[in-house]
Structure 1
Amino acid sequence: MSARPPRNEAALEFLLSRRSRPAKTLIAPAPTRAELLPILTAAARSPDHGKLEPWRFIVLEAGAMPRLAALTEKRGKVLGKSAEDITKGRSQFDQGHLAVAVVEVQKPSEKIPAIEQSYSAGAVCLALLNAALASGWGANWLSGWIAHDREFCSSALGLAPNERLAGLIHIATEGPKPPERPRPDLDALTDWVSE
């Protein structure tokens, strides 16, 4: 019988206790470019079938937030969104200090289906979120109606027709610690197949 592989206790403890921090509770300062690079490097190590790199990053620094908030409001009015939806949509920019837009980039491939490229972009979002948290920052993965609005993504972020926004990962200093929330019932969600 082979020996059990060594456990990385620190990494396991982090994953078992990780908790996103609501974006509205994040405060200045945000990471510098030098502090953000290892976080982006960790995120780029996500599963990527075929080594297509079907994603890219747009780092939205504090100076970009007012422009994005105004574009969100303008776009919300054009779409007939309620005042509440517009306020909620723009609040992540009004209150934001730094966010990384993870952009899914669909690439032609005979071997790698489009859905697997989407999965890879989602994996990058989670890896980026976890790397930020593991680095001591507060972080939150947001999307909302603006993330799915083609015109906003094109005009605000310059996304091409083969691109879409997988998520906005807000990163800054952790403010008030949120309470723990209920977690999934594994017994209800897990089937064991032994034959």
Structure 2
Amino acid sequence: MDSAPGTVNPAERNDDAMRFLLTRRSRPPKTLTGPAPDRAALQEILTVAARVPDHGKLEPWRFVVLERPALERLAGAAAEYARAQAIPDDMAAKGVGQFAQSPLCVAVIAVPRPTDKVPAIEQTLSVGAACTQLVNAALAAGWGAGWLSGWVSHDPGFAAPAFGLAPGEWIAGLVHIGTQTVAPPERPRPDLNQIVTWVDA
């Protein structure tokens, strides 16, 4: 029996998924600790992260998984770079801390593809979708996860050698994943009355 117009077949509705999406909450990376997902568990999460809208099937993103030894190395490199560039102490500490405190981090790299068929902005939006999907997949799998950026992402002098960026590539996000120590309180959410316009004619 077909559903009435404007309704969905109850058999096709995924209440668990809707409940998760309505209540999902990123975990502040500074509240995460070990253990982090092992490679097998992370492989599943990354598979979900790569399952996003991608006009032209260009795959304008790639993932760099930073495990603890790499994070410790990057913490030292960030501290050295910050001193050499006279980055203010508080700002430097935030960048260094991302690596020093993280149990595991996935750098989402934007990989713009040269094509006349897919505008650059659509590729960028796909990269953002991959970041969001990565966070949500980690949360759905029972881990804590949060998406950060900061100067260690945006300063090309540091980011290019640190993450092995090719020309034209850039860091879309650093997604930290681990075991949550505290559940963050709910925060105010957008008022749909202020951001939704209904157009019926």
> Which TM-score band applies after superposition, normalised by the shorter structure?
over 0.9
Q: How does 1:30-109 map to 2 (within 5 A)?
A: 30-109=36-115
Residue identity in the other structure for 1:81: I
Q: What percent of counterpart residues are identical?
A: 55
Larger radius of gyration: 2
Residue identity in the other structure for 1:120: S
The answer on 1:173 being equivalent to 2:149 is no
**Unpaired stretches in structure 1, ≥5 consecutive residues:** none
Within 1, Cα distance between the matches of 2:194 and 2:2? 32
Count of aligned pairs between the two proteins:
195
Within 1, Cα distance between the matches of 2:158 and 2:119? 26
So what's the TM-score if we normalise by structure 2?
0.93
The answer on 1:137 being equivalent to 2:139 is no
**Unpaired stretches in structure 2, ≥5 consecutive residues:** none
Within 2, Cα distance between the matches of 1:16 and 1:89? 31
Q: What SS is found at the alignment partner of 1:72?
A: helix
Q: How does 1:6-21 map to 2 (within 5 A)?
A: 6-21=12-27
Q: How does 1:110-125 map to 2 (within 5 A)?
A: 110-125=116-131
So what's the TM-score if we normalise by structure 1?
0.96
Within 2, Cα distance between the matches of 1:185 and 1:42? 29
- The aligned residue for residue 127 of structure 1 is 133
- Cα-to-partner distance string for 1:80-101 (whole Å, 9 max, x where unaligned): 3210000011111110110111
RMSD of the alignment, in Å?
Answer: 1.2
Tell me the CA shift for residue 2 of structure 1.
4.1
